[in-house]
Amino acid sequence: MPQSKLSKSKPNIILVTTDQQRWDALNYNRPGTALRTPFLDAMAAGGLNCTRAYTTCPVCIPARRSLLSGLHPQTHKLYGYQDGLDWEAPISCPETLGRNGYQTQLIGKLHLHPQRKSYGYDHQIRVESPNDRGDTILQNVNDWAKDLKRRGIEHPNHSGIDSNGRAARPWDLEEQYHLTSWLTDRAVEYVTEYRDPTRPFFLHLSHWAPHPPLIPPQAYWDQYANHGMTPAYGDWAPDLPWRPGTADTNAIGPFREDEIEDMIRGYYGLVTHIDHRMNHFMSRAFGYGSPRAHEPTVIIYTSDHGEMLGDHHLYRKSLPYEASAHVPFFICWRNMDLKPGAFDGLVSLEDVTATIFDLCGVAQPEQYNSELEGRSLVPALRGEKCHTRDRLFGECTGVGTHNYMIEGPLKYIWFERTQEEQLFNVLDDPDETHDLSGSHKDLLPNFRKHMADYLKDRSDRHYDPSQCVPCNNQPPKVFWEKHL
């Protein structure tokens, strides 16, 4: 077999990100459901699977800033969804790798402004959405829609299914034209035809799915016809009826049961489609006879945030709950002497860049000395003791503007508008069905102290521990005050 000219000293890096994939939307993380992710499960099982990985701002653009730079929202200063913002990244993973000999390529979603700004990528294939928004200011670049138009498909998504809605149905074109398939095919082309074989490469394959529109190809829609999966409802969730007229994009329910059934069906159909396309990509890129088969290569898989998917009568992202903030995160490899296993330390998206730098022999930026910023997971990959952080801080402005903090098994949540607090043991109660804020008030002072210190210099938050009100296992008024 012909050997690659690539030096063995630096591994190829493949970063695969999905959009809106919750932690348990990987069967390996929560076996026993109807979800099918056999290929991703095998990758996670054969690598380092991070069981406690979180996004520190569970919405697209801030999370992607952290992915690109390894910087926490407290540092890059974006705490919620705000499109159209110019940003001079003080640290850029692809730019840094490029200066250290890597060829860098983005395929898919970046969601940073302006769309053609390189942020250090040598080349980009950009698709922000399955909706063709060529006549808009913020998302007029869509290389997928442009390619399909060349093939005579004038509008690739004319189903009327909203990019933030709960409605679901099968994709109405051939599977090869689906965005997940198309992006994977571009990644195969890059690795097999367009990369420089004399240099290590950094490929960021950035999927839109399973973010709505919930329109998987027909075969994947059919797989989940009788899925039997239902949302998790905490005993603190309200006992309210579905309200006719609830908008399709509304983040706060309750929602219709048949609507939830279809929503879950479409969402998990998209996840399984990603699983199969990852199998296709790895087979084509590194399969039998490939000149790349002997190259050292690291694959990192994660998501920018999760999806509530009806849990606790809530939908979409941005919230502090496990379904929204807890994400899949695993690292696997080829032709490298690393140690598989599970890692249960607190991990965040900031750790992606720090780990990549360490793997590639790049010095860690001085900003990473703060506990908020990225931490390398390479010690864990070597089977050594690895300490990431004692506590993890997250937040998001928007629906239920909040801050959250995780320390040990406990997650503390504070909602700014109502000053309400919740407390969950997320190890014993991963569905967050029981709020401990009323029954374990003795635990709150520690969290209040650290949260007050975290927010002490913030002009956009007004945190006063004396004004905090435990929800005491009752529905947070921040969501349902008008209906309770």
**Confidence band for 8, pLDDT divided at 50, 70 and 90:** low
**What per-residue confidence (pLDDT) applies to 428?**
98
Question: How far apart are the C-alpha atoms of 445 and 433, rounded to whole Å?
Answer: 22
CA distances from 315 to 112, 264, 399, 406 (A): 24, 11, 11, 22
CA distances from 8 to 3, 200, 299 (A): 11, 9, 16
**What per-residue confidence (pLDDT) applies to 115?**
85
Pair 294, 11: CB distance under 8 Å: no
Locus of tokens 């250290």: 100
Residue 32: CA atoms inside 13 Å, Cβ hemisphere, count?
3
- Sort strands 469-470 and 53-54 into parallel, antiparallel or unpaired: unpaired
How many other C-beta atoms are found inside a 10 Å radius of the C-beta of residue 335?
Answer: 14
Which pair of tokens denotes residue 390?
């004692």
32-43 average pLDDT score? 97
Residue ranges with strand state E in 335-428: 341-343, 347-348, 391-396, 402-407, 410-415, 420-425
Using one digit for the tens of pLDDT, what is the confidence trace for 318-347? 999 999 999 999 999 999 999 999 999 999
- Sort strands 420-425 and 410-415 into parallel, antiparallel or unpaired: antiparallel
Locus of tokens 């992606």: 352
Q: What is the DSSP letter of 243?
A: -
pTM over 0.85: yes
Give alpha helix (H) positions in 289-349.
Answer: 322-325
Sheet holding 12-19, edge to edge: 123-126, 103-108, 201-210, 12-19, 297-303, 329-334, 48-50, 341-343
- Sort strands 103-108 and 201-210 into parallel, antiparallel or unpaired: parallel
**What per-residue confidence (pLDDT) applies to 413?**
98
Q: Which amino acid is at 223?
A: Q
Pair 48, 377: CB distance under 8 Å: yes
112-133 average pLDDT score? 91
Contacts of 320 by beta carbon, 8 Å cutoff, 6+ apart: 58, 394, 395, 396, 402, 403, 404, 411, 413
Which pair of tokens denotes residue 289?
């006879």
DSSP lists the bridge partners of residue 334 as: 297
Residue ranges with strand state E in 144-267: 201-210
Which pair of tokens denotes residue 347?
């991990």
Which pair of tokens denotes residue 172?
């109405």
Using one digit for the tens of pLDDT, what is the confidence trace for 40-66? 999 999 999 999 999 999 999 999 999
358-383 average pLDDT score? 96
Four-way CATH pick for 400-480: 3.30.1120.10, 3.40.50.300, 3.30.1200.10, 3.40.50.2000: 3.30.1120.10
**What per-residue confidence (pLDDT) applies to 156?**
75
pLDDT higher than 80, residue 353: yes
Q: Name the fold adopted by 12-386.
A: Alkaline Phosphatase, subunit A (3.40.720)
Q: Which part of the chain is CATH 3.40.720.10?
A: 12-386
Pair 47, 333: CB distance under 8 Å: yes
Geometric angle at alpha carbon 309, from 478 and 423, rounded to 5°: 45
| Average pLDDT value over all residues in the chain | 95
Range in 111-120, 174-183, 370-379 the model is least confident about: 111-120
Which of 303, 325, 93 has its CA nearest to residue 208? Answer: 303
Contacts of 402 by beta carbon, 8 Å cutoff, 6+ apart: 319, 320, 395, 396, 413, 414, 415, 416
**% of the chain exceeding 90 in pLDDT:** 89
Question: How far apart are the C-alpha atoms of 46 and 282, rounded to whole Å?
Answer: 14
**What per-residue confidence (pLDDT) applies to 7?**
44
Using one digit for the tens of pLDDT, what is the confidence trace for 214-244? 999 999 999 999 999 999 999 999 999 999 9
Using one digit for the tens of pLDDT, what is the confidence trace for 453-474? 999 999 999 999 999 999 999 9
Question: How far apart are the C-alpha atoms of 216 and 184, rounded to whole Å?
Answer: 15
Q: Which part of the chain is CATH 3.30.1120.10?
A: 400-480
| φ, ψ at 321 (rounded to 5°) | -75, 160
**What per-residue confidence (pLDDT) applies to 2?**
32
Which of 105, 155, 111 has its CA nearest to residue 125? Answer: 105
SS3 460: coil
Using one digit for the tens of pLDDT, what is the confidence trace for 142-173? 999 999 999 999 877 778 889 999 999 999 99
Pair 109, 19: CB distance under 8 Å: yes
How many other C-beta atoms are found inside a 10 Å radius of the C-beta of residue 325?
Answer: 31
